[in-house]
Amino acid sequence: MRVQASRQCRTGLVLVICVGAMTGTVRSQETEAPPDPRWTTRQSSDPGDPRESARSQQTANRLSAAVNQPVSRWERLRKAVWPFRAKRQTAGEGGAPRDRSAGPGAVAAGPGNSTPAWQVADPLPNSSQAAGQRRQFDGIGWADDPGPAPTAPAAVSAGATSDLAAAPAAFVMMQGAGAQNTPTPGLSPESIPSEEEQPQAGTAAPGSPVVRRSFGQRLLRAYFAREEEEAEAESTEQGIQNRRINLPPPFAPSPPFPFAEHTGPNIGVNDTSVYPLMDALYRGPNGDHWKKSRIKIFGWVDPSYNASTSRNSNVPMSYDIVPNQLELSQAILIFERPLDTVQTDHFDWGFRFTNLYGIDYRYTTAKGYFSDQLLKHNHLYGYDPLQMYLDLYCPKVAQGMVIRIGRYISPIDIEAQLSPENYLYTHSLMYTYDPYTFTGIQFITLLTSRLTLQLGVHAGNDMAPWTTSSQPNGEILMKYVTESGKDAFFGGLDSIGHGYYQNGHDDLQVVAGTWTHKFTDKFHTLTEAYFIWERNARVGGTITGGTPQPFFEETGPGARLPGLSYSIGAVNYTAYAISDKSYICWRNDVLDDPRGYRTGFPGAVFETTFGWIYHITPWCVTRPEVRFDWTSGQKAYDNGTRREQFTFNWDVIIRF
């Protein structure tokens, strides 16, 4: 007996099982003729009352969807921006649904005409029992879903006996037929499935949707479609998932704090973070190749705004030197292959190439690396290849040694040039006027689980070896972490050599040290101090050429300062986590520059800053802060016209 139902009619498996459980048996179905593939509704267990069966089936399915299917945040977002029903599947030849991923006219593969129609979760008048597949649109892409396994219904339709215990299992099975294929956030690249790892259409195991999306769809989904934001936030933690067992515990949870380990080098800790761009690539057709290569491409944009009592220039505050204006602090694009220093079995290699564009280039520029933008033209915006180095890992030297060759960031600071690695948006005064990058070679050796030695040779602060200003300098630093992991000391000679100002450029000599202390997992403090000196310096240091601009008027060479010039700086950060997404931070800072060879204004400058940092999402951070600067000597702010300066500063970091 053939039954034709409306489009809204669905299968009534639950009622059949419940009736069978109460009566002890389920009557066998008797068919007068083979089923026509055009009809998409299973025969009723009661041949005499097909309409009642259809109505019961529809009611049971609605109850299943309403009670047992949770609505994800992505589903709520999808309904908000795309409130329409899923697009109906166009039938192919023979009534089978067309597989759009296979091209025009292609028909989805199926097990044959024997597939029961109850597997089709949303039957259409011209869809086929043979296909056993459906197409569902989740707001971003189409997914092939073969539906639930036929085991339980097949047994029932064959006349098998049933009891009440069988009903819940079948009920859950029906619920799973309409489940969305939402990607599960992974803690590492290996945990993110690629399209190659997912079942293909026609060969998928029942209940396993196959998702095929364009790169743009995958990227959009990486930003908005993750079910558990907390689990995704874990994926950005530095070195939590893959650290050596014998190392001290992490310093602080990250997020919300910018880094998890004590300042200084960390061998035996891997960076397993995955951000939206790589998430989209990992889930694509070449995802396995990206994972195996360990090459990562990521970055961020960091727009900022400040409201200042100064009118023309915020200098010596950094990096937002233009007052009362919206600017792009930095746009970063990074290509890297991180080292695997957790393992101790084999040699490994890696690299990093960091590209920076924005106002911040004025502080990261090194002579010889596209430096004419600043040193000859005084441009507000510019480009800087901030990091370019090759890493070699030798696990058999002590407990592991990393050899770094190229241009790298000065290792001794609490702060960094890269926005997400800082506790606050603006920078301390002492950090503003110390070395930023070196070009040379480093040998970083883990002597014991708590002691690290760092040796190096470089061409001097912020200049390439091939320039006429470069001079050979050494680097000798040590890091020690206490057994409890609550304290760490990192310091030594960051740059030591002749120390003579040469050909319009500084050659700073630096001895510095940092101390980090953890009170609790939520509360800690970081302190840094340095002594910097140089011989035969000039007021204002390295020469910035070009036309004077309101935001920076001190172009051209400053007055000569014969003999020794020095500066002393100190800064303290105290931070407290309000939640796993936000923290507050208070910074106090002083820089004493008696001859003005660093700032251009003799005397001491001070600042205090209070900020609130909030992770809106795992890929978006906002950092509002209030700051007050003052000087005890010559007027230094707003081009030397003010002694004090009050600012409200705010930036938003958006990762990709």
Copy the structure tokens of residue 28. 């066998």
Report the 10 Å Cβ neighbour count for 76: 9
Q: Which residue has the tokens 């003005």?
A: 596
Environment class of 146 (CB within 10 Å of its CB; exposed 0-12, middle 13-18, buried 19+) = buried
Q: 581-594 pLDDT, tens per residue? A: 999 999 999 999 99
pLDDT at 633: 83
pTM comes to 0.71
* β partners of residue 332: 300, 356
Alpha helices in 348-464, H assignment, sequence order: 361-364, 372-375, 429-432
Kindly state whether residue 193 falls inside one of the protein's structural domains.
no
pLDDT at 68: 54
pLDDT at 246: 77
In the chain, count H helices and then E strands: 13, 22
pLDDT at 432: 97
Using the 3D structure, point to which of 156, 180, 204 is the last residue of a domain: 180
Same domain, 150 and 274: no
Same domain, 354 and 494: yes
What is the span of the domain harbouring residue 430? 269-655
pLDDT at 598: 96
Report which of 178, 183, 208, 173 is spatially closest to residue 74, judged by C-alpha positions: 183
pLDDT at 6: 39
Q: Which residue has the tokens 């081009």?
A: 639
Same domain, 418 and 280: yes
When mean pLDDT is compared over 167-171, 276-280, 353-357, the highest value belongs to: 353-357
Interatomic CA distance for residues 637 and 99, integer angstroms: 67
Same domain, 335 and 434: yes
Q: What is the mean pLDDT of residues 31-53?
A: 45
Q: What is the mean pLDDT of residues 24-51?
A: 43
Q: What is the mean pLDDT of residues 115-131?
A: 35
Kindly state whether residue 57 falls inside one of the protein's structural domains.
yes
Q: 420-459 pLDDT, tens per residue? A: 999 999 999 999 999 999 999 999 999 999 999 999 999 9
Residue 166 has pLDDT above 70, yes or no: no
pLDDT at 651: 98
Same domain, 402 and 503: yes
Residue 214, SS3?
A: coil
Q: What is the mean pLDDT of residues 259-282?
A: 91
Same domain, 281 and 176: no
Query: CATH number for the domain including 438?
Result: 2.40.160.10
Number of domains in the chain: 2
Q: What is the mean pLDDT of residues 102-106?
A: 36
Same domain, 299 and 399: yes
Kindly state whether residue 424 falls inside one of the protein's structural domains.
yes
Report the 10 Å Cβ neighbour count for 68: 12
Kindly state whether residue 36 falls inside one of the protein's structural domains.
yes
Q: 500-513 pLDDT, tens per residue? A: 999 999 999 999 99
Report which of 433, 279, 447, 460 is spatially closest to residue 367, judged by C-alpha positions: 460
Residue 17 has pLDDT above 80, yes or no: no
pLDDT at 249: 84
Same domain, 311 and 452: yes
DSSP conformation class of 258: S
Kindly state whether residue 283 falls inside one of the protein's structural domains.
yes
Q: Binning pLDDT at 50, 70 and 90, where does residue 488 land?
A: very high
Long-range contacts of 21-25 (CB under 8 A, 24+ apart): 21/162, 21/163, 21/164, 21/166, 21/167, 24/161, 25/159, 25/161
Of the candidate ranges 10-14, 238-242, 493-497, 619-623, the one whose mean pLDDT is the lowest? 10-14
Kindly state whether residue 472 falls inside one of the protein's structural domains.
yes
Count how many Cα atoms sit within 13 Å of the Cα of residue 546 in the half-sphere of its side chain. Answer: 17
Q: Are 626 and 610 in contact (CB under 8 A)?
A: yes
Q: Binning pLDDT at 50, 70 and 90, where does residue 213 land?
A: confident
Q: Binning pLDDT at 50, 70 and 90, where does residue 198 land?
A: low
Kindly state whether residue 551 falls inside one of the protein's structural domains.
yes
Kindly state whether residue 393 falls inside one of the protein's structural domains.
yes
What percent of the chain lies above the pLDDT cut of 70?
65
pLDDT at 93: 35
Q: Which residues, other chains included, contact 225 with Cβ-Cβ below 8 Å and sequence gap of 6+?
A: 74, 140, 182, 183
- Does the N-terminal peptide bond of residue 316 adopt cis geometry, omega within 30 degrees of 0? yes
Q: Binning pLDDT at 50, 70 and 90, where does residue 197 land?
A: low
pLDDT at 247: 83
pLDDT at 50: 56
Of the candidate ranges 13-22, 328-337, 534-543, the one whose mean pLDDT is the lowest? 13-22
Interatomic CA distance for residues 483 and 248, integer angstroms: 6
Report the 10 Å Cβ neighbour count for 169: 12
Which of 450 and 60 is assigned the larger pLDDT? 450
Using the 3D structure, point to which of 122, 151, 180 is the last residue of a domain: 180
Same domain, 176 and 276: no
Of the candidate ranges 169-173, 396-400, 470-474, the one whose mean pLDDT is the lowest? 169-173
Residue 228 has pLDDT above 80, yes or no: no
Same domain, 323 and 465: yes
Residue 546 has pLDDT above 60, yes or no: yes
Same domain, 402 and 550: yes
Using the 3D structure, point to which of 180, 214, 246 is the last residue of a domain: 180
Same domain, 301 and 161: no
Environment class of 606 (CB within 10 Å of its CB; exposed 0-12, middle 13-18, buried 19+) = middle
Interatomic CA distance for residues 462 and 386, integer angstroms: 10
